[in-house]
Amino acid sequence: MEWRSVFNLSAIIALGLALLPGAAFAQQKSLKEQLIGAWTLVSNDNVAPDGTRRQNFGPNPTGILILDASGQFSFAIRRPDRPHFKSNNRLTGTPEENEAVVRGSNFTFGTWSVDEASKFLTLHIEGSLFPNLEGADSRRPAILTGDELKLTTPNPSSGGSSDNVFKRAK
């Protein structure tokens, strides 16, 4: 009797272990589910066609990407060293102050979707600091490694391509 119980218990454990990888696989989230949330910018590099890297938003840009579960997104990036307006009023900035703001920041918002097969993220831009982007779709590979997300924009308005690296906001 004792050997039969040991054998049955061993068989149940073996069956459970055999099914474990399948169960773990079934619990993996889709790329879209993994991307939902807030992401803080780690780096932004513009890459020229010759491979030269530029930091259009300075060496330590700050920014956030929010991808919500309903399919809405918002992205903002800025140079931390933008000058303050002397008038303390954004509507009365000097031409130089306004230029520094436009050159030192960007934002977009709209809707997003994921092609699970190709692992591409598509942003449908509804609003942007750069109005020429409005109505456009920006399709980019989404490389997710743990809590790090790399998005490469193939044709930003600044030319070349743009590598953005984010970490999941905690």
Give pLDDT tens digits for 80-134. Answer: 999 999 999 999 999 999 999 999 999 999 999 999 999 999 999 999 999 999 9
- Which residue, 99, 151, 113, 127, is CA-closest to 36? 113
CA separation, residue 29 to residues 25, 115, 139, 155, 163 (Å): 9, 14, 21, 30, 25
> Using an 8 Å Cβ cutoff, are 41 and 164 in contact?
yes
What do you get for the CA distance between the two ends of the chain, in Å?
A: 55
User: What span, in angstroms and rounded, lies between the C-alpha atoms of 42 and 61?
Assistant: 8
Least confident of 55-64, 100-109, 145-154, 156-165: 156-165
Residue ranges in the chain assigned as alpha helix (H): 2-26, 31-35, 95-103
In a 3-state reduction of DSSP, which class is residue 26? helix
Write down the pLDDT at residue 20. Answer: 52
Phi first, then psi: what are they for 122, rounded to 5°?
Answer: -115, 125
Cβ neighbors of 33 (< 8 A, separation 6 or more) are none
pLDDT digits (tens, 9 = 90+) for 13-29: 554 555 555 444 446 89
pLDDT digits (tens, 9 = 90+) for 41-84: 999 999 988 889 999 999 999 999 999 999 999 999 999 999 99
Beta partners for 105? 78
pTM as predicted: 0.80
